[in-house]
Copies of this chain bind each other. A is one copy, B any other.
Amino acid sequence: MAKRADARRNSDAVLEAAAAAFVAAGVEAPVRDIAARAGVGVGTVYRHFPTRADLVVAVYLHQIEACAEAGERLLTEGPTPFAALARWIDLFVDFLVTKHGLAAALRGDDPQFESLHSLFLERLLPVCTRLLAAARESGEIRTEIGPFALMFGVGNLCAGAGVPDYDARTLVSTLVAGLRA
């Protein structure tokens, strides 16, 4: 059976409200605030998005997809596999640093963000794995860092973006530079 019209309307309203709240207050914005913005009760938010991660996923799904697809493309376009990897990581960093608190949320200790974690793992990790493997095969990289650790590390470096005197991009560039032995 199709969803009821009011259900879809509310679902959309919550999504929009969440997107706005995330921009204003980060991905940890209080559920009550999101509900209030959407003009619904908290129960309705939970009905449509059982966990916060579901909301985050819904809000950023398109951008995550785009990032994943860009990876495939860069590999064929780039001058070398390592260059492709570096560019792809730049895209990944751009995505993370513009989402207040997202990088911090990716640190896995909170079961709350399980499905977000899953999405990153399922969609982005394979891309990173291919790029990294290609760069390794071409002999441009000599390090034992695996794709997961690399993504996790880059994500960590992006946490706390916004602090004065701290530029996540420069740090990530340095890390990537360190991948060449």
Q: How far is the CA of A148 from the CA of B170 in the complex (A)?
A: 13
Tell me, yes or no, whether A166 is within 8 Å of chain B by CB: yes
Tell me, yes or no, whether A69 is within 8 Å of chain B by CB: no
Total residues of chain A contacting the partner, CB 8 A: 30
Interface hub of A104, A109, A145 (most chain B Cβ within 10 A): A109
Flag if A174 contacts B108 (CB, 8 Å). Answer: no
Contact residues in B for A171 (Cβ distance below 8 Å)? 145, 149, 153, 175
Tell me, yes or no, whether A122 is within 8 Å of chain B by CB: no
Contact residues in B for A178 (Cβ distance below 8 Å)? 173-179
Contact residues in B for A144 (Cβ distance below 8 Å)? 170
**A 112-154 binary contact with B (CB < 8 Å = 1; else 0):** 0000000000000000000000000000000111101100110
Flag if A179 contacts B175 (CB, 8 Å). Answer: no
Contact residues in B for A179 (Cβ distance below 8 Å)? 174, 178
Q: How far is the CA of A108 from the CA of B148 in the complex (A)?
A: 25
Binds B, one of A41-49, A52-60, A155-163: A155-163
Tell me, yes or no, whether A6 is within 8 Å of chain B by CB: no
Flag if B148 contacts A165 (CB, 8 Å). Answer: yes
Interface hub of A108, A153, A159 (most chain B Cβ within 10 A): A153
Flag if A166 contacts B143 (CB, 8 Å). Answer: no
Instruction: Please report A residues at the B interface, Cβ cutoff 8 Å.
Output: 104, 107-109, 143-146, 148-149, 152-153, 156-157, 159-160, 163, 165-167, 170-171, 173-179, 181
